[in-house]
Structure 1
Amino acid sequence: MISFKEALKKVLDYKQDFGTEQIPLKMAMGRVLAEEVIADRDFPPFNRATKDGIAINYDSIATGQTTFKIEGILPAGVAPTLLSNTEQAIEIMTGAVVPDNADTVVMYEHLVIENGWATLIQNPTKGQDIHPKGSDRKSGETVLQKNTKITASEIGVLASVGKSTVLVKRLPRVAIISTGNELVEVGEQPLSHQIRKSNIHTLFGALSQEGIVPKEFHLVDEKEVIKEELANILYNFEVVLLSGGVSKGKYDFIPDVLEELGVDKVFHRVLQRPGKPFWFGKQPTIGTLVFSFPGNPASTFANYQVYFKNWLRSSLNLPNPKITVILEEGIPVKGDLTLLLRVRLKCADGRLLVSQVKENGSGDLTSLALTDGFIVLDPVKEFYEAGESVSFVPTKPLW
């Protein structure tokens, strides 16, 4: 058995590069850029009005002029024009191109307009309410860095530079596997000795949040059947996530089958709770990675969040954020296991505080719905005091 920290380090040592792919812009949300994105024109591409009002030449004000004849209206989307007389004004709408011989925009709220004339009721500042050409980025400058995770903000930038398709990091082909004769489909009525599948659906939902649509499989508790099906799965997928079958029970065939299929064990069993029987390895010929989690719901969920998500982010060259929170109450730590405890999160006075979720062991599925994340308590001391900062692994959006 190895320590929690050693296990996590070993998993991250196996990060992989799955290459790149071109995808449509509308499918790029949540993906990771595999290229540097360059401005194909100045941003903004012209002197742009930022208010509705009039465009004037500021020099006319220096002579004491406060009333301007309006010579026309300039909406957004119209080609550049000129003031025919720099002592006059043109009405201009937000987003329109400011005439070359105008340098100031005065919004309607600072004007009185009557009979085609605009009178200032507040003196403007030269250059006000104009977004100057190239003031955000110049043509040829970098607007998005490689290895950036694409959010709605990046989508807008990509659209602005004409990226109808985007080069992104390819995500791994993932198989998720449930095991056990006691499991039935969600739509079935379980018998008294059966339960509905839940872990595989939890994993499916979690992977979907990462942009991965996995293939689902179920293996019955028959060793030869498991071996035959798992051999095919290993060949066709780059990552396999299993739930169940890795403990010491008579029907926990997964470790032996993986060994027979040539999967090199990196470790089996970690000094942590929940999720101690976690098995991790790699098939060296094919290159497939195997994350085999214990079957209890909290064990599968915690190991996915701690190990797989960190591995995936490392493989995509994304940072693994270190989040700390403050304990609302003291927590005793006994023995030599690292504890992954379910907690609720709240923000108070600018601080992130957590309190333990009441739970009934690693088989307690319903408590996960109340959980915002796990805190990680190493067995370096016997008691963590209220007010201490500890490591936090979120399982839901923080806000």
Structure 2
Amino acid sequence: MAQLSEDTFAFGGPLMSIEQATALAAERIQPVAATERVALAQADGRVLSQDVVAGLDLPPFANSAVDGYAVRFADLSDGETRLRLQGRVPAGADAAGVVADGVAVRVFTGAPMPPGADTVFMQEDVSLEGDVVRLPPGLKQGANARPVGEDIARGEIALAAGRRLRPQDLALLAALGQDSVEVRRRPRVAIFSTGDELAEPGAALPPAAIYDANRAALRAMVARAGAEIVDLGILRDEPVALAERLKEAATSCDLILTSGGVSTGEEDHVKAAVEGAGALVFWRIGIKPGRPVAMGVVSGVPFIGLPGNPVAVFVTFAFVARPVIARLAGARYVPPLPLPVRLGFPYRKKQGRREYVRVSLSPGPDGVMVATKHPRDGAGVMTSLTQTDGLVELAEELTRIEAGAMAPFLGYDLLIA
């Protein structure tokens, strides 16, 4: 388990930016140390625990990039060249006995280059007259030929430690002959919702109760972030029981993640429970929707308390919890790159907070994507997430932005990938 001191996150002062908050976590949280070796078929989404060094050149032999005719560039003239056709090398064949010395050799994509050959003419660019190949002028030396190690050379770092593996990475590992890879153990993230008003989906709904939506979202987002889920269910507003469950979770998990109960109301008991089991320091983050977000330590294990409203849970997980999980996983976290869109609405906001506005996109008459604000923007309006495409990000210093202005847009797929 990740072990921290109780004053690890101590902070006071003005509102923190998202970058300050995540940097503070990155400085103080260490990745999960345990590693394991997994088969390539199970490695998608896992985080490399060590550099992968290429054990062979890729490609391991010079080969043709096209179907055509391999020649020595030295045999070509300034005008049209005519060479006798001699030899044929398909993919997978041994070309050792086929020498391209003053002749053209028929080759196919992926076939090894005949000894001496360094250039390949595409078959559609040449003509045949019996056993003579007519080659047009103007082709550069080395054209359509893949040299040994063109992709990566033996001994080079193919993939660096901390990389979260993607399908294209698995293809590279397979091409290098690896059928397994050393990765970090997935972080174990304990999830629970708090509140006497919550009911489990599928159960009868008591009067004045609502179904717990936050845990369903958090389970999915935690899994997409590459962590293992420990679902602790719904915890009632009982400070002593909450403290005990938090301590219990800390014995087997690397991060404790809750939603609800971290504000300062009389019925918000998570704050007291965390303080009873460890230490809680509120991160006064300048983010909307999102306040309050809390972070602390329970028996040496990091704790993040997200707000209770579903939209705020989604936004704060994406920008606060997700980087923490990446850190625990040993992954290099790179914030999602926003794309510029044109606003189809004016907007006012308070200075000092970064706001995320739910929008839908549609192409404008000039081809630039136009963002349309969802008509209902309350932090409890879940359809504002299901009926939109992503978030427009409005910087802290802004107080007003006019319709027609350009603004950064983050699609939901980027935030939960």
**TM-score tier (shorter):** 0.7 to 0.9
* Residue of 2, 14, 19 corresponding to 2:33: 19
1:23 touches 1:165 (CA, 8 Å); kept in 2? yes
* Residue of 355, 373, 397 corresponding to 1:339: 355
Q: 1:298 to 1:380 in 2, by over 3 A?
A: same
Q: Which amino acid aligns with 1:180?
A: G
* Residue of 120, 123, 137 corresponding to 1:108: 123
* Residue of 369, 374, 383 corresponding to 2:386: 369
1:2 touches 1:270 (CA, 8 Å); kept in 2? no
1:238 touches 1:287 (CA, 8 Å); kept in 2? no
TM-score in terms of structure 2 length: 0.81
1:358 maps to which residue?
A: 375
Unpaired runs of at least 5, structure 1:
none
State percent identity of aligned pairs: 28
Cα deviation, residue 261, structure 1: 1.0
* Residue of 119, 134, 140 corresponding to 1:120: 134
- Check if 1:217 corresponds to 2:228: no
C-alpha distance in structure 1 between counterparts of 2:22 and 2:13, whole Å: 12
2:9 maps to which residue?
A: none
- Check if 1:235 corresponds to 2:248: no
C-alpha distance in structure 1 between counterparts of 2:370 and 2:168, whole Å: 29
* Residue of 278, 284, 303 corresponding to 2:293: 278
Aligned residues: 394
Higher mean alpha-carbon deviation, 360-369 vs 58-67, is at 58-67
Q: Which has the higher contact order (CA 8 A, sep 6+)?
A: 2
- Check if 1:97 corresponds to 2:108: no
- Check if 1:154 corresponds to 2:169: yes
3-state SS in 2 of match to 1:82: coil
2:304 maps to which residue?
A: 291
TM-score in terms of structure 1 length: 0.84
3-state SS in 2 of match to 1:241: strand
2:16 touches 2:284 (CA, 8 Å); kept in 1? no
C-alpha distance in structure 1 between counterparts of 2:38 and 2:367, whole Å: 40
3-state SS in 1 of match to 2:281: strand
Q: 1:322 to 1:111 in 2, by over 3 A?
A: closer
- Check if 1:304 corresponds to 2:317: yes
* Residue of 68, 84, 88 corresponding to 2:84: 68
Cα deviation, residue 198, structure 1: 1.4
C-alpha distance in structure 2 between counterparts of 1:369 and 1:386, whole Å: 24
C-alpha distance in structure 2 between counterparts of 1:156 and 1:261, whole Å: 46
RMSD: 3.3
3-state SS in 2 of match to 1:279: strand
* Residue of 254, 257, 268 corresponding to 1:252: 268
Q: 1:217 to 1:59 in 2, by over 3 A?
A: same
Higher mean alpha-carbon deviation, 54-63 vs 98-107, is at 54-63
Cα deviation, residue 250, structure 1: 4.2
2:16 maps to which residue?
A: 5
C-alpha distance in structure 1 between counterparts of 2:72 and 2:339, whole Å: 55
1:12 touches 1:310 (CA, 8 Å); kept in 2? no
Cα deviation, residue 290, structure 1: 1.0
Cα deviation, residue 89, structure 1: 3.8
